[in-house]
Amino acid sequence: MCGRINLRTPAAAWTQEFLPLWSQEEIAAKAAEYESTARYNIAPTQQVSCVRAAADGPRREWVMLRWGLVPSWADDLAIGNRMINARSETVHEKPSFKKAFASRRCLIPADGYYEWMKTADGKQPYLIEPVDGGVLALAGLWERNRKIEGDDRPIETFTILTTAANETTRSIHDRMPVILDPDGQAAWLEQDRDDPSSLRELLRPAPVDLLTAFPVSKIVNSPRNDVPECVQRIELSEGSSQQQDLF
C-alpha cells in the first residue's frame, strides 16, 4: 500500500515538469491561493496537490483533492478512508474505480513515500525516494461526489494506484505506488485514451535503479508530525532491521 507521502520541493520547481504550459506568475498565484509549503508527512483525508487534465484544452490543472476516493454514488465521506489505494491489477473492473479509471485520472507529485517494515523492534518506517532526487509522479484516480452535503460544492477526492513492489522495495513491503515517467505521465492524462489494456500497460513496478530506501524516525507514525525530522535518515540498532514478515 501507499499510505503516506511527502512533497518538500517548492511549487515553483515541481510544477515545471507537471504544468509545462503554466507561466511563473500563474504558478505563484496558485501556490499563494493554496498556501503551498513543504509537507513532510502527508496522510489520508488531507488535502493534497494533484494534477489532472483540463476539461477544455491541452493545459493541465493543479487542484487540491482529499486523499481517499469517495465514489460519486456514495453518501458517506468515511468510505474514502478505505479507498486510499487502488490495486492496478483490478482497478478497471471494480465498481468504485472503473469509471474514474476510464476518464478521471490524475498525477500526485511526491518527493517520496513511506512504508513500514515489521521488525523485532516493531514496525519501522522507511522513506523511499528517487536515488538522484527529483519529484515522482504517482498515478492516481479522482472522483467528484455531489451527494454528500458539504459547503455547497462537490467533494473531490483521489486514490493512488499500487502495483507489485520491485526488487528495491520488496523487502519492506510487497506493494508500491505506480510511478510514471514523463511519457507515461502524458499518456495517463490523455482524455481520449480509454482503452483499459493500453492504460494498464502503464501500471508496472518502477525500475529497480530509480529508488532508494532508508529508515526514518517513528515520529512519522503520527500525521500530526509534519516536520523535517520525518525525512531524516536514522541509524538502526544491530539486528533491528531484520524483517520478520510483511504487514
Sequence-distant (6+) residues with CB within 8 A of 185 are 18, 107, 137
| Three-state SS sequence of 180-232 | CCHHHHHHHHCCCCCCHHHHHCCCCCCCCCCEEEEEECHHHHCCCCCCHHHHC
Q: Which of 233, 193, 238, 228 is nearest to 40 (CA)?
A: 228
- Cα separation, 181 vs 145, in Å, equals 30
Query: Catalytic pick from 50, 106, 115, 230?
Result: 115
User: Active site includes 235?
Assistant: no
Query: Catalytic pick from 2, 50, 106, 230?
Result: 2
The answer to whether the Cα torsion of 47, 223, 220, 36 is positive or negative is positive
- Cα separation, 74 vs 97, in Å, equals 12
User: Active site includes 106?
Assistant: no
Tell me which residues are annotated as active site: 2, 115
